[in-house]
Amino acid sequence: MEEVQESQTQSSLGQEEENEVITESSAFVKGEPAPEFSSNPPKVDSEVEVLHEKVSKQIIKEGHGQKPSKYSTCFFHYRAWAEKSQHKFEDTWLEQRPIEMVLGKEKKEMTGLGIGVASMKAGERALVSVGWELGYGEEGSFSFPNVPPKADLVYEVELIGFDETKEGKARSDMTVEERIGAADRRKMDGNALYQEEKLEEAMQQYEMAIAYMGDDFMFQLFGKYRDMALAVKNPCHLNMAACLIKLNRYEEAIGQCSIVLGEDENNVKALFRRGKARAALGQTDAAREDFLKASKYAPQDKAIAKELRLLAEHDKAVYQKQKEIYKGIFGPRPQPVPKPRNWLILIWQWLLSVFYGLVTLFKRQRHKSD
């Protein structure tokens, strides 16, 4: 299959299926949504692990690898509730933006949360309970977030990943080159994991790479620096889409491709993968639109032609099926069934017609003679 050529600054995802577009291109990570949205903390049956006198943890989903050390830069999502009132006061999944925290340098109100995060592995999701002394304290918070005084807290946390930096350097303290370099290393790690079919772990690397390229950072870039950043950031969305398609998470894959198309509306790979995800969801008209647009910019691509052919075959099969269904419902128009004849009635009708005919003839002859 011929590949659609792109800038040499973009690295390919690696060897994929023979009939798939392998080019890369394009945009802040949407982030993996939590499995279920809930206004209350999730119910967890796992064993309670005491991390501190005021901090405990229950694992919801196991992680992998090592735990972060002090001064590691951690990226994670969380929801937070006041334990007593069950009031949810923060949710980074809804904001679609992971939090960055340098362990040992976290804000005072996040001391307990930092203890919980430090005990987690990459990819782990856990329920962390924190006493008010290591949270928002005796006075609480009356601005944003709104937290009552002396409120014990409950966090649902997912650690996306972390960078071991001895100096504890946050993204905001990095130069442009350092941030792009850190993101590029994450992307390459994700590509290696993808080739090993470790899709969930690969997506975590891509998500962390894009976290280095937040919207606030990208808005400040122009010229060659913006091009450098996009050359690292943009492929991660499409690589995530490739993982999500393999995991049958088609809606999320469409979202990742749409981010790319918001940056580059003619991106062939984004159109192709969004078309595949839409076709898998039965959105055949939208999928065909994506494939036709992709074929406009890559007319010789066999993978696109194959997908269009599959859609045509699908439409033909659907038509034939519907035709059979409607034929069974309506069928041919029934022919009237002839009723059995009563010969006595027919003879009587014939005699009457002969009688009326003779009477009419007699009247005419009489009229002529007069």
Residue of higher predicted confidence among 134 and 358? 134
The reply to whether 22 falls in a domain is: no
DSSP 13: -
pLDDT at site 47: 94
Can you give the CATH number for the domain in which 231 is found? 1.25.40.10
Domain boundary among 316, 343, 365: 316
Q: Are residues 279 and 222 in the same domain?
A: yes
pLDDT at site 38: 61
Any long-range contacts for 242-250 (C-beta under 8 Å, 24+ apart)? 242/13, 242/16, 242/194, 242/273, 243/194, 243/199, 243/200, 243/202, 243/203, 243/206, 244/203, 244/277, 245/273, 245/276, 245/277, 245/280, 246/199, 247/199, 247/200, 248/280, 250/277, 250/278, 250/280, 250/281
pLDDT digits (tens, 9 = 90+) for 34-62: 445 567 899 999 999 999 999 999 999 99
pLDDT at site 1: 34
The reply to whether 199 falls in a domain is: yes
* 359 token code pair: 């009477």
Task: Compute the CA torsion angle 211, 213, 219, 224 (nearest 10 deg).
Answer: 180
The reply to whether 2 falls in a domain is: no
Q: Are residues 295 and 227 in the same domain?
A: yes
Domain boundary among 271, 287, 316: 316
The reply to whether 203 falls in a domain is: yes
The reply to whether 13 falls in a domain is: no
Q: Are residues 158 and 89 in the same domain?
A: yes
The reply to whether 212 falls in a domain is: yes
pLDDT at site 13: 38
Rg of the chain on CA atoms, in Å = 36
pLDDT at 339 over 90: no
pLDDT at site 7: 36
- Whole domain around residue 125: which residue ranges? 49-163
String of DSSP letters for 249-295:
-HHHHHHHHHHHHHH-TT-HHHHHHHHHHHHHTT-HHHHHHHHHHHH
Angle of the 250-263 helix axis to the 268-280 helix axis, nearest 10: 150
The reply to whether 311 falls in a domain is: yes
Whole-angstrom Cα distance, residue 194 to residue 199?
6
Residue of higher predicted confidence among 11 and 108? 108
* 180 token code pair: 């792009």
Q: Are residues 118 and 201 in the same domain?
A: no
Domain boundary among 279, 295, 316: 316
Q: Are residues 206 and 84 in the same domain?
A: no
Average pLDDT over residues 178-189: 89
Q: 235: cis peptide before it, omega within 30°?
A: no
The structure's pTM equals 0.63
Q: 27: cis peptide before it, omega within 30°?
A: yes
Task: Compute the CA torsion angle 320, 326, 332, 334 (nearest 10 deg).
Answer: 160
The reply to whether 54 falls in a domain is: yes
Q: Are residues 146 and 182 in the same domain?
A: no
pLDDT at site 16: 42
Neighbours of 320 (CB within 10 A): 10
- List Cβ neighbours of 67 (8 Å cut-off, separation of 6 or more): 118, 119, 120, 121
What percent of the chain clears pLDDT 90, i.e. is strictly above it? 45
pLDDT at 200 over 70: yes
Can you give the CATH number for the domain in which 140 is found? 3.10.50.40
Q: Are residues 140 and 181 in the same domain?
A: no
Q: Are 277 and 253 in contact (CB under 8 A)?
A: yes
Q: Are residues 210 and 263 in the same domain?
A: yes
Residue of higher predicted confidence among 150 and 1? 150
Q: Backbone phi, then psi, for 8, in 5-degree steps?
A: -70, -15
Q: Among 91-95, 127-131, 215-219, 277-281, name the one with the lowest average pLDDT.
A: 215-219
Q: Are residues 103 and 155 in the same domain?
A: yes
pLDDT at site 331: 59
Q: Are residues 269 and 215 in the same domain?
A: yes
Confidence of residue 83 (pLDDT cuts 50, 70, 90): very high
Pairing status of strand 73-82 against strand 99-102? antiparallel
Overall domain count for the chain: 2
Q: Are residues 158 and 63 in the same domain?
A: yes
Q: Are residues 152 and 269 in the same domain?
A: no
Which stretches does DSSP call E strand in the chain? 49-52, 55-61, 73-82, 87-91, 99-102, 125-130, 153-163
pLDDT at site 251: 94
Average pLDDT over residues 183-194: 91
